[in-house]
Amino acid sequence: MSRMQAAEAMVKILEDEGVEVIFGIPGAAILPFYSALRKSKIKHHLARHEEGASHAADGYARASGKVSVCVGTSGPAGTNMVTGLYAAQVDSIPIIAITGQNVTAQLGKEAFQAVDIAEIVKPITKKSYCVKEASQLPAITREAFRIAREGRPGPVLIDLPLDVQKREIEYDPDTDAPLEVAKPAPDNRKIKRALEMLLEAERPLMLLGGGVIIADACDEFIELAEYLALPVVTTLMGKGGIAVDHPLYAGQVGTSCNTPYGNKFFLESDLVLGVGCRFSDRHTGALDVYTKGRKFIHIDIEPTQIGRIIPTDLGIVADAKLALRALLAMAREMTPPRQPDERVAAIPEKRLQYQRRLDFDQIPIKPQRVFKEINEFFDEDTVFTTCIGLNQIWSSQFQRIFKPRHYLLPGGAGPLGWDLPAAIGAKIARPEKTVVDIVGDYGLGFCGEEMAMAVMYRVPIIVIIINNGYLSLIRQQEKYIYDMNFEVTTWYDGTMVDFVKFAEAYGAYGQRVEEPEEIKPALRRALEANWPSIVEIIVERETDASMGVALDKVVEYEPLPMLETATTKA
């Protein structure tokens, strides 16, 4: 047993929990923690805004599958992290946020930067603490990591008053260890019933949600699909959970982030086995269309998800990996390996027929052409980040992703600015990977200051800006719903933000592209530079993205190349 400051004990626990990197900003109320961190093997990356620190930690966690950590001081540092914690909570990302706080004697007295951050973040975290007894900090820190990992993962906040950090406590790191994380196994009776329903159905399919990726259960998911010859569709958050060219992959389902054949195939099904999915509104659209004529089996680790959005014919509460292993074992007992029926065997050909057109040659560049070049230039090991806007919708519709944890986005919260710091976090987590951020010209303005963090720590990410001079998702909604074009233009007085100079101001490498043939050479120069880079691509301003209010009401603004009867609109 040793005597040490509580902050020092906390840092030792972080090391033991496997923390290798922290994203944060020091401030007066968190300096005892930083004093202990200074003597640690944990690397610290100085963010330029606490929201950026929280998003960088989020990207690190998504790319690595590990619990990540962000740190800030008291008051506005914590409130600046709220958006990041919300994004992590809704997408089930395990983050530990640590904030400084004024001394305990000043709590509740409106002292300088003494906001009650633990109460503020309660609705958007799995747990929040304001630690008032220094001797409890080791146990609370261990519990925070267990809570962040266990069940449906998510963020936890620990608020540390200045005097609590400094107080000496008795702590023995040699007898302390991480807490056990329980993983619920499925009820075998329900597993058997699920198999019976799958075998009885005429047109069953499997729906791969983001929870399958979070549980590192993609291999088990695919193995079950292949054994039973079941077709697969994904949610947006499940993108990359199965390779885009897998013969069983029919596509992506949603009202905006979709593929045409994915929606069509889903609507022709009579039974859906959904694993690790929330059935959110951008996935389902109109629920009467989504649910009509089909039954649902829903597997999720969180009991409150079952039946929350759609009527569930069979709900199974379990860890996704354990449930899929149980399903495969039961399938092997109940039936020999199955061969694809005619409907399933036709998937690769039909998937190709329903692909959207990308090969536009005009100037200004059509956004679709940008993604054609991205698909052709970057390899299957590239990790992409993106965020809300038409840039994200186009990315989700057009990009070909082959592996889990290689397509990262904040699907539930959709905060502008998430993608750049998340790309930095992802590259730090996976330094052997090429990491590419796809963002709009407006979105980059939200956390663009984190380019300084990328340059400072030599993190060679590539940022591709789809610049159409608009808040383009809102422009499209204004156009078709409100018949207006109001306050959505980002170019002004005939000029625009010069993102090449923006990059250079931070010490990054910047390029502007205005012709289709220039895209690949620019990407090649950015990749070969091995340095934080921006490739700004000026695109046609009025291009709309395919979307609709229901799966059967998605409007295609460009004809599907191989189908003469596609729904089109000028």
Sign of CA dihedral 478, 483, 486, 491: positive
Separation between Cα atoms, residue 489 and residue 475, nearest integer Å: 8
Look at residue 364 and tell me whether its pLDDT is greater than 90.
yes
Q: Are residues 371 and 387 in the same domain?
A: yes
Structural domain contains residue 569: no
Q: Are residues 165 and 148 in the same domain?
A: yes
Separation between Cα atoms, residue 323 and residue 249, nearest integer Å: 21
Structural domain contains residue 121: yes
What pLDDT score was predicted for residue 257? 94
Q: Are residues 508 and 386 in the same domain?
A: yes
Question: For position 326, which CATH number holds?
Answer: 3.40.50.1220
For residue 153, which of 185, 135, 126, 131 has the smallest C-alpha distance? Answer: 126
Structural domain contains residue 424: yes
What integer is the mean pLDDT of 333-358? Answer: 95
Q: Are residues 297 and 388 in the same domain?
A: no
Write the secondary structure of 354-409 as one string of H (helix), E (strand) and C (coil). Answer: CCCCCCCCCCCECHHHHHHHHHHHCCCCCEEEECCCHHHHHHHHHCCCCCCCCEEC
Question: For position 488, which CATH number holds?
Answer: 3.40.50.970
Q: Are residues 506 and 375 in the same domain?
A: yes
What integer is the mean pLDDT of 420-439? Answer: 98
Q: Are residues 371 and 234 in the same domain?
A: no
What integer is the mean pLDDT of 255-267? Answer: 96
Look at residue 570 and tell me whether its pLDDT is greater than 50.
no
In the chain, the number of structural domains is 3
What pLDDT score was predicted for residue 563? 67
Q: Are residues 331 and 446 in the same domain?
A: no
Say what percent of the chain tops pLDDT 90.
94
Q: What is the pLDDT of residues 14-23, one digit of tens each?
A: 999 999 999 9
Q: Are residues 494 and 533 in the same domain?
A: yes
Separation between Cα atoms, residue 131 and residue 161, nearest integer Å: 7
Structural domain contains residue 550: no
Sign of CA dihedral 164, 165, 167, 172: positive
Query: Domain boundary at 122, 154, 175, which?
Result: 175
Judge if pTM exceeds 0.85. Answer: yes
Tell me the pLDDT of the chain averaged across its residues.
95
Separation between Cα atoms, residue 367 and residue 369, nearest integer Å: 5
What integer is the mean pLDDT of 162-171? Answer: 96
What pLDDT score was predicted for residue 568? 43
Look at residue 1 and tell me whether its pLDDT is greater than 90.
no
Q: Are residues 268 and 379 in the same domain?
A: no
Res. 569 pLDDT band, cuts 50 70 90: very low
Query: Domain boundary at 336, 352, 368, which?
Result: 352
Q: Are residues 389 and 435 in the same domain?
A: yes
Domain that holds residue 484: 357-538
Structural domain contains residue 552: no
Query: Domain boundary at 299, 330, 352, which?
Result: 352
Question: Could you tell me how far CA 159 lies from the centroid of its own chain?
Answer: 26
C-beta of residue 500 within 8 angstroms of C-beta of residue 512: yes
For residue 198, which of 330, 72, 289, 97 has the smallest C-alpha distance? Answer: 330
What pLDDT score was predicted for residue 470? 94
Structural domain contains residue 499: yes
Separation between Cα atoms, residue 346 and residue 344, nearest integer Å: 5
Structural domain contains residue 380: yes
Tokens of 367: 């956004």
Res. 564 pLDDT band, cuts 50 70 90: low
What integer is the mean pLDDT of 290-295? Answer: 96
Q: Are residues 155 and 216 in the same domain?
A: no
Look at residue 339 and tell me whether its pLDDT is greater than 90.
yes
> Picking from 99-113, 194-208, 316-330, 409-423, which range would have the lowest pLDDT averaged per residue?
99-113
> Picking from 47-51, 129-133, 487-491, which range would have the lowest pLDDT averaged per residue?
487-491
Structural domain contains residue 195: yes
- Residue with the two structure tokens 């008032």: 132
5 backbone dihedrals φ, ψ, rounded to 5°: -65, 150
Separation between Cα atoms, residue 13 and residue 139, nearest integer Å: 10
Q: Are residues 323 and 237 in the same domain?
A: yes
Sheet harboring 462-467: ordered strands across? Answer: 407-408, 383-386, 435-440, 462-467, 533-538, 509-513
